[in-house]
Amino acid sequence: MVVEGEAERNFDRVEQNPDRVFIGGGGLEVIKAIPKIFDRLNRDGIIVAVAVTLKNLTNIINVLDANRIDYEAISLSFYKLQRGFEDGRASEGDFSDTG
């Protein structure tokens, strides 16, 4: 079953306990709802939460720790390499961190 929408508004409407939950944004209100979502998971269920900012990642980890919820964190970084040539020379600032 796929339920689209804001978790804190729609999760209570789901009758079955989920095997998997994907949280892809929503900020602090959704982060605060993680313990409630975790309590509803089926045995061996998985929550995947995406944190784009370090602030949200820190908030997620704090909520998980405070509620003694086991977790595994995987960090992905994306970099963009861009090189421009003017007059046959590489331009300055040709490597940028986009992640």
Q: What range defines the domain where residue 43 resides? A: 7-97
Tokens of 77: 């970084």
Q: Where are the beta strands (DSSP E) in the chain?
A: 20-23, 46-49, 79-81, 85-86, 89-90, 95-97
When divided into structural domains, the chain yields a total of 1
Would 2 be classed as within a structural domain?
no
Would 71 be classed as within a structural domain?
yes
**3-state class (DSSP) for residue 81:** strand
- Specify the pLDDT at position 90: 56
Beta strands 79-81 and 85-86, pairing class? unpaired
Q: Are the C-beta atoms of 51 and 60 separated by less than 8 Å? A: yes
Would 62 be classed as within a structural domain?
yes
Would 85 be classed as within a structural domain?
yes
- Specify the pLDDT at position 84: 73
Would 90 be classed as within a structural domain?
yes
Q: Which letter does DSSP use for residue 79 in this model?
A: E
Residue 88 maps to which CATH number? Answer: 3.40.50.150
Would 1 be classed as within a structural domain?
no
Would 13 be classed as within a structural domain?
yes
- Mean pLDDT, consecutive 10-residue stretches, the chain (99 aa), reads 72 85 86 92 93 91 96 86 69 52
